[in-house]
Amino acid sequence: PVAILAQDSQVDSTRAAAMGDNPQDSMDKLHGAGPNLAALTSYSWNVFRYLGDYLHLGGVVVLLLTMAKNQSCAGLSMRSQILYFIIFVTRYLDLFDHTQTAYLVFFKLTYIITSGIALMAFYSMQGTYERHKDTCNLVIILVPCFTAALLLTNEYSTLEVLWTYSEFLEGFAMVPQYIFCYRDTNKDVGVTSFVVALGGYRVFYAMNWIYKKINMPQYMDIQSWIGG
């Protein structure tokens, strides 16, 4: 989910080490050990999070099925898929670093694998790729997001900086697809469903953040909030 899956994966090793704790799940990594951990964990697993997770997953499935059914990349932005691949690879490096629940591992691996499959599909069906409609310049997204990550990261470690980078980058990942859709006059129902699902998932994640903030006023996740 992405934003909440990502924040579950955030590293706070300094705090955990200072408290002599050995984190056992992703929530420990983000918030360290403390009296509020159990409450935060319970509020994190709420209906808005689950709806967001499964809308995102559904959108990815629709994307791949649409490409398979049409045997075409028509209507789809390869640049958005490049951004998502970068996001998932930079965000989920903690898979090699930390013990996590099966739920998180499933979603993280699924997003990495499916984003790679989507890019391979673009390569194998490049004759149907409408490059002239996919005009968003990725440099103006990648460079400012990385600069913001360096300035706003909580800790200057590789995992932390890359996680922060992925948070900011996700806020712009669908921009190339939106530009593509604006230029595209032939609307495919599969493409439309994919775009709507990804937009809906972001809405439910925002509702999840609001829910957690209401129930735990001390909850803060500035990078995710800025990234949207």
By C-alpha distance, which of 83, 86, 87 is closest to 5? 87
Q: Which residue has the higher pLDDT, 186 or 173?
A: 173
Which range, of 129-133, 168-172, 193-197, 223-227, averages the lowest pLDDT?
223-227
Q: Where does the pLDDT of residue 16 fall: very low under 50, low under 70, confident under 90, or very high at 90 and above? A: very low
Q: Is the pLDDT of residue 18 over 50?
A: no
pLDDT value of position 14 = 36
pLDDT value of position 42 = 64
pLDDT value of position 108 = 94
Average pLDDT, the chain: 82
Q: Which residue has the higher pLDDT, 189 or 30?
A: 189
- For residue range 130-182, list pLDDT tens digits in order: 999 999 999 999 999 999 999 988 889 999 999 999 999 999 999 999 999 99
Q: Is the pLDDT of residue 31 over 80?
A: no
40's tokens: 């935060």
pTM across the whole model: 0.80
Q: Is the pLDDT of residue 4 over 50?
A: no
Which range, of 74-78, 117-121, 186-190, 224-228, averages the lowest pLDDT?
224-228
- For residue range 53-103, list pLDDT tens digits in order: 999 999 999 999 999 999 999 999 999 999 999 999 999 998 888 788 899
pLDDT value of position 37 = 55
Q: Is the pLDDT of residue 19 over 60?
A: no
**Measured on CA atoms in the order 102, 107, 112, 116, is the torsion positive or negative?**
positive
Q: Which residue has the higher pLDDT, 46 or 55?
A: 55
Q: Is the pLDDT of residue 199 over 70?
A: yes
